Amino acid sequence: MGPTEPLMVQSDGTLMLHTVHTVLDADGGPAKDQQGRPLTAEHPRYAEARDALASFAELEKSPEYLHTYRVSPISVWNAAALGVTADDVERTLDAFSCVPVPVVILERIRGWMDRYGLLRIERMGDGDRFKLVAGDETALADVLGHASVRQRVEVDDEGAVFVDPLERGTLKQALIRIGYPVDDCGGFVEGDPLEVRLREKTLSGAPFKLRDYQRRAADAFHAGGAASGGSGVVVLPCGAGKTVTGMAAMEKVGAKTLILTTNTIAVRQWKQELLDKTELTEEQVGEYTGECKEVRPVTITTYQMVTWRRSKADAFEHLSLFGRENWGLVIYDEVHLLPAPVFRVTAELQARRRLGLTATLVREDGKEDEVFCLIGPKRYDVPWKVLEGQGFIASAACVEVRVPLNEEERVRYIGAGSRSKFRIASENPAKTAVVRTILSHHEGARVLIIGQYIDQVSGLAKELGVPLITGKTPQRDREELYGKFRTGQVPTLVVSKVGNFAIDLPDANVAIQISGTFGSRQEEAQRLGRILRPKSDGSGAAFYALVTLASKDQEFAERRQLFLTEQGYSYRIIEAQALETLIGNGGSAVPPSALGGPDNPGGMN
């Protein structure tokens, strides 16, 4: 702790982190520029503090000079699941704080930490009965005082608390809502055995082996088969090989596996990866989609498929897939998108091993606690910038280009309601010229242009004369266009929200976001993720976010960037006119090194 440290901790759990500090001159006073203004620079301890805080706090706001974090029960419990202690948190806060840390927040954090694992679900012998036990009888009495808990358990005359197997998940939901995360040590059914072995060479003959962090992630999830493992979430950046990590977990579990993912493209990518990198055969891997309904030892389906029903009054016809086979493992790809009906059925699946894979635990619906108690706590996490530094994902330069509205659109904007304001600003027609400017300077690059609104992306694709992919594009056409993009036959694609998830386009090195979903942090992360796969030539990537100046679009863009800021990415902010001038003079909005320098034909020189 000291007056020059960057952090201020408030008693309500708010953490204020200064990103810059005042530069001092030789006499120890504030240095000034030619206009007499104080000179500032990035605080020398900012990056270190940011990385330390990310383990137990969530970034809420990130204006240029002062970032706001918040400590919450879920952020602390996930930290506890990774072995972080209350003493670790206290040491971190004290090390970076410029003033004394309020005792009240330290006590609150310690209280949350102490509650993690205070209650446990344990199996009784070899049967299917479970007990809720506590390290503190006061805690047990406290939770039994809540009707939501009491109605889900059975208490005998001696005070022992028994849990029906079908109530295992709903009990954990009830308990976490009153502030008691449960350590579920009840173990799992083994499921029907299935040998899954990773290859040493892919089908093309290329050497294949797990990266160290993929192996560590699988080990952390499986925990050697112990009752304390086998459920939880692995958090890895897009492009870091979450699918391979899932396959490593399958190898360790060695049982029939159900895989849920976001769309049919992702289903087929999973199948292709499984056949390429494991010794599973075509007959062992099934696709369960609208086009093909195969139930096999490894079955891959979509969230949309299992939650489909003919009308809101009808039953979900395919949810029975969960109970149709004796699955030993259920993998939830992009677990942050898990829909409510799957939460409900997952509450009944607590006897099955459950692995969530995601690039971000952020859920815009606030249901992080549902993921925590039903899928499991965070078992493994690695910062994006760490893997970037090791060369496992591409380096990326992020640029926010602020585009003004013309006078006619500005009049429309002023007279519109709040929601209409956002759409008018998002669909700002002046963004088209900026897209052209960026494309002209990335000649030879593989470019994805991603937008929220169908009219906007359709009009832009037509004006640019490039292919368009939306939710209405037939599956066969999508796969054909993605294939042509991979080979370079089609160097630029315009995509709607379908481009947010599960597109395997390793050579994409430029993304231009023309509109987004209000303040969706997960969406911003996924869109940057489209260009983070390592490039064959070792070059980097550029991500452009086009936002309308001084509008709701700009306001929500600041929120969308929160997660990436927390991961260590920063946005260079530049106005559209300045961008055109800069590029017109042979300059660049991103460092030449970001795309591989002047020898890289996709780079900005």
In order of their start, the domains of the chain are 7-113 (no CATH), 119-185 (3.40.1170), 212-382 (3.40.50.300), 391-595 (3.40.50.300)
Within a 13 Å sphere around the CA of 324, how many CA atoms are in the beta-carbon half?
16
Residue whose pair of structure tokens reads 């593989």 in the numeric block = 446
Residue 290's nearest CA partner among 312, 308, 314 is: 308
Is residue 91 within 8 A of residue 155, CB to CB? The reply is no
Beta strands in 227-337 (DSSP E): 231-235, 257-261, 285-288, 298-302, 329-333
Answer for the pair 540, 396: CB distance below 8 angstroms, yes or no: yes
| Number of other residues whose CB lies within 10 A of the CB of residue 207 | 8
Instruction: Provide the pLDDT for residue 593.
Output: 45
- Residue-level pLDDT at 366: 79
| Token pair of 289 as six digits | 């989609």
Pairing of strands 119-123, 182-185: parallel
β-strand pairing of 58-61 with 66-70: antiparallel
Q: What is the pLDDT of residues 555-566, one digit of tens each?
A: 988 888 887 877
Q: Which amino acid is at 407?
A: E
Which residue do the tokens 């090989």 mark? 241
Residues 175, 146: contact at Cβ < 8 Å? no
- Taking the model in full, what pTM does it have? 0.84
pLDDT per position as a tens digit, 45-101: 998 998 899 899 988 777 668 888 999 999 999 999 888 999 999 999 999 999 999
As beta bridge partners, residue 66 has 18
Residue numbers of the chain with a pLDDT score lower than 70: 63-64, 499-504, 591-605
Per-residue three-class SS string for 157-205: CCCCEEECHHHHHHHHHHHHHCCCCEEEECCCCCCCECCCCECCECCCC
